[in-house]
Chains A and B, each alone.
Chain A
Amino acid sequence: MSLVNFTTREITCKIVYYGPGRSGKTTNLHYIYGRVPDSRRGRMVSLATQTDRTLFFDFLPIDLGQISGFSTRFQLYTVPGQVYYNATRRLVLQGADGVVFVGDSQARQLDENLESLQNLQSNLLEHGVDIRTIPLVLQYNKQDLPRELILSPADLDDALNFRSLPSFSADALHGKGVFETLKGISELVLKKLAAGTAA
C-alpha cells in the first residue's frame, strides 16, 4: 500500500495496535474516537464478542484534512489479542505503515507481552517485513494500577524494549498517554516519507 500518492495528493497511514489479549488496544481506539470531532472521523467498526473481546478487528478511520495540500487520512486498526486468532492478526498486519505495541504493565502478564512481541515479529516476517525496519513504538498500558501489581516503565523497557524504541506509559482508560503514543507512531511513519522509503 502506497503511503503517499502524489498523483491524487493523498497520504494514508495504516497503523496497527498490536499486543497481548486484554492489554487495552481497543480502549486506545475508543479514547481517540471520543476526542476526534464528528466531522473528522468515520464510523468505528468494532466486531466484539459479548464479553467485549475483539473478535475480528477494530477499525477507526480519521480524516486529518488537507495538510500541505495532501488530504491526509489515518486508519487505526487493532488486532484480536487472543492467541488463537493468529490468522486474523496476520491479515490485519498486511500493509501496515506502523505498529503500536500495547503491552500490559501487570507483572504477571510479562510472558504474554513477550510472546505477543515474538508473534508480531514472525507475522511481519510472513509479509516480508523486518520488525527492525517498520515504524514501531511501545505503550505500557495500565500504569494506573497499584504499584505492587505492575512493572515500572523502566523495568518494562528492560524486558521488552531492547532496541530503544520510543515507549510511552499509559492509562488508556482515562486517556493518559494515548495521544502521545499516536503522535509518536505518526511521527515515525511520516518521517519515513522524508527518507523516501514508503512502506
Chain B
Amino acid sequence: MTSALNPKYSFDSFVVGAANRLAVTAGRTVAENPGSAYNPLFIYSGSGLGKTHLLMAVGHAAKKGAPALNIEYLTLDEYVEAFHAAIAAGQGDAFRRRFQNVDVLLVDDVQFLTNRKEMQSELLRLTEALQVGGHQMVLTSDRPPPDIADLDERLISRLSGGLVVDIGAPDYETRVAILRRKAEERGAKFEPGVLETVADAESGNVRELMGALNRLVAFQAVNDRSINAATAKQLLGIGAEAAPGDGGKGAAREGAAPAPRSGDEFGDFLADVTVTVGKAVEAWRARVGEAVLRWEGEGYRTRRLEALLERDTPAAVDEVITAFTQDVERLKELEAEVAELDPQAAGQSVFRDPERLGEAEEVAAKVRDGAAPPPGPSAAFPLGAYAVGPSNEVAVSAARAVLKQPGKKYNPLVLVGKSGLGKTHLLNAIGLELARGKRAVVACLSTQAFVDELIAAIDGDRVDWWRARYRRATALLLDDIHLIAGKERTQEELFNLFNLLQDKERQLVFTAPAQPHTLPGLEERIASRLAGGLVAELKEPDREVKRAVLERMLGQHGASPDPALVDYLADRPADSVRGLVGELQRVVGAAAAQDGPLTAGLAREVLEGQAPRDSRRSAGFRTSGIVVSSLGGIKSREKMVWDWSDVADRVIEEFR
C-alpha cells in the first residue's frame, strides 16, 4: 500500500538554487528534528519542480539520522485507497492506529483532497493526532492550502500552521546545474554551450528540461556524434524566432557589457536576497508560530504570542517568547504545588493563562495559607530525655538509624510494647528530630486523632484536602495504630497514603501494643505492610532505665536525689515506666503533705503502707477494679480508676 522511498531521490541529488533554497532548508531542518521544527511542513510548487524528490529526500535524511524512525511515504490517492479498503474490511480503527504511529508521514499530492469531504475529516483527525504525538508530517501540493478548492477551513489552518514553502521555477544557473548533473548521471558528454542552450530555453519545469536533455542524449547515441549548440537548438526547436526575448537580451548583453561577470547577476542577487529575507522574516514568524502551537497544544493561552504576529515589526521576538516560556514554567510550578496541597484548586483556568500569572500566584498563596500542615510531634518528648537501657536498646538504635537515613533504612519502623513503656515518647522524639530537617513536614499524631480528622473531612466534603495535607508530609508517625481496627475507610486511606509515602522514601513510624499480625481488626494488607519494615520491641523497663527516669524526675522536682530512694524505687518491680512515675509521684505528694524530705523511708511507708491498707488488701481481690501489686502497694490511683472495666464494678465500689 505504501510506496517505498526511491533511493535516487535524496538531498545529495537535489540541485539547490534560489527558487528552492528555502524549501530545501526547511526540509533538511525537518529531517534533522522530525516533529519539532516545522510541523506540518507544506511544500507546494508547480508540476515537475521537485516536490516528490524533496519529500523523499526528507524521508531518506530522517531515516539516516534516526534509523529507528517509522517513516511512511504515500500519495494522497494511495492514502484514500487504503482508507477505503480498510473501511470495506471493517478495519477503520486499525487503519487510523497504523498511521497515528508513524513518526514521519510524507504525503504527496494533497491537492486531490478537493471534493473529498470524508477524506478531509480523516486527514484532519490524523493531522491532529500526529501533532499531539509530536510526529512529523510533510505534505506536498501543487498549490498552497487556501487555494485547494473546497478544503475545510480547519484543515487549511492545520496545514498552514507549520511552515508553508514554495518551490519556484529554477533560474538559469540552476537549470544549467541540473542539466550538468543529469548529463553526468547518464554518462553523456556534450560540447560546451550545449547544455547552456537547453537551459536558455527558459523552460520553467525540470521535467521538461529532462525531456530536452533526453532527446539530446538519444540523438547523440543514435548518430554517434556529439552535437554543438546550434544543432541542439535546431533539435529542440529553439530558433531565434522561437525565443525572441532571449535572443534580444543576449545581444544586448554582449553589446553593452564587456562585463567579466557571469550572465545573471540580478538572478544571483535575487537568490541572495531571498535567502536573507527568508532567514530574517519567516524565521521569526516561524519561531512565534511554533511557540504558539506548542503551548496551545499543552493547553495554555497564547494571546501574548499571537499579538506578536499582528505586529508590524518583530520587536524583541525572542525576549517575548523567553518571557512567555518562563511564565508558563512558573505556572506549571504553581499548579504542581497547588495540586499537592489542594487537588480541586489545581484545575483552575488561571494556571493555564500566562497573562494571569499574578492571579495564579495569589491563588497559590491562598492555597498555601489554607493548607494547615498536619499535626506535628509534641515538644514535650525530646529525644535527649529518653532513658536508654538494655530493655529498649533495640528500639532506640532503630530510631537512630531511622534518623540517620529517614525513609531508607527501616521503613516503616513499628515500635511494639505494652502501655507505659515509652513508645509515645520515642515516637514523638523521632518526629521532633525529623522535623529539624529542611522543608520537613512531619505528621505525628495519635491514630485516634487521625481517624477523627478523616471523619471531619468526610463530613465537610474535603477529603481531597485532607489527603493532600498528609501527602505533603515528609514523615508520618502514628501512635497506637491498633486503634484503626475496624475503621475500614481509615484503613483504606492509610493503605494508599502508606504506599505513596513509602514510594517517595518518606519515613513511616507506628506504635502498637503488640506485633502487627496479632492485632485484631487490622486488615491483612495493613498488618503485612507494618511487619514489612522493622518491628522493634520495648520490654519492661530494666533497672538502668528506671534509675535514669527517677534521677531525671527527681532532678525536675528540684530535690537532690537521695541515692537510697533511687535505689529503693529502682529495685521495686515495675512493668512500665508510667507505673514507676506514678509511684514516684505518690512519694513526692506524701513528702509535700508532710512537708518533709524525700527519703527511702518515706517511700517505703507510702508504697508498702500500713495496717489499714493491709485489711483492704484481701478485700481488694473482691473488687476487680483494684489491682494490687505483688508487694501490696496500690500502683496508682489514676491507674486504678482507669482500669475499671465497667459500670457494675464502679457501682459496687460506690456502694462499698
Contact = CB atoms under 8 A, between A and B. Distances in A.
Decide whether A and B assemble into one complex: yes
Interface of A: 2-7, 11, 32, 34-37, 40, 64-65, 67-70, 72, 174-176, 178-179, 182-183, 186-187, 190-191, 193-194, 196-198
Nearest to A36: B266
A68 B282 contact: yes
B280 to A, nearest CB: 4
Contacts of B278: 67-68
A73 to B, nearest CB: 11
A2 B280 contact: no
Per CB-CB distance, the 3 closest pairs between chain A and chain B, nearest first, are A193-B280, A194-B280, A175-B259
Contacts of A4: 281, 312-314
Nearest to B279: A194
Contact of B277 (A35, A68, A182): A68
A68 B22 contact: yes
8 contacts: A37-B266, A68-B277, A175-B260, A179-B261, A183-B268, A183-B269, A190-B273, A193-B314
Contacts of B585: none
Contacts of A64: 270, 273-274
Contacts, number: 95
A159 to B, nearest CB: 27
Given A70-B281, A190-B277, 10 more contacts: A2-B312, A6-B311, A11-B277, A64-B273, A174-B259, A176-B260, A187-B276, A193-B281, A194-B284, A196-B314
B159 to A, nearest CB: 15
Nearest to A175: B259
Interface of B: 22, 252, 256-261, 265-266, 268-270, 272-274, 276-284, 310-317
A68 B281 contact: yes
B315 A182 contact: no
Contact of A191 (B22, B280, B314, B315): B280
Given A67-B273, A70-B281, A186-B269, A196 B316 contact: yes
A197 B313 CA distance: 8
A196 B269 contact: no
Contacts of B252: 34
Contacts of B313: 2-4, 6, 196-198
A141 B280 CA distance: 30
A40 B316 contact: no
A44 B430 CA distance: 92
Contact of A175 (B22, B261, B281, B317): B261
Identify which of A175, A182, A187, A196 gathers the most chain B CB atoms within 10 Å of its CB. Answer: A196
Given A35-B265, A68-B282, A176-B261, A5 B312 contact: yes
A73 B421 CA distance: 93
A50 B558 CA distance: 122
Contacts of B261: 175-176, 179
Contacts of A72: 273, 277
Nearest to B314: A196
Contacts of A179: 261, 265-266, 268-269
A68 B274 contact: yes
Contacts of A35: 265-266
Contact of B257 (A68, A174, A194): A174
B204 to A, nearest CB: 14
B256 A34 contact: yes
Given A11-B281, A196-B317, A190 B266 contact: no
A187 B312 contact: no
A187 B272 contact: yes
A187 B311 CA distance: 23
Contacts of B257: 34, 174-175
Contact of B274 (A40, A67, A197): A67
Contacts of B316: 196
Nearest to B319: A196
B317 A190 contact: no
Nearest to B277: A67
Nearest to A32: B266
A68 B26 CA distance: 12
B258 A197 contact: no
A95 to B, nearest CB: 15
Contacts of A183: 268-269, 272-273
A176 B262 CA distance: 11
B273 A186 contact: yes
A191 B276 contact: yes
A114 B272 CA distance: 31
Nearest to B165: A68
Contacts of B269: 179, 182-183, 186
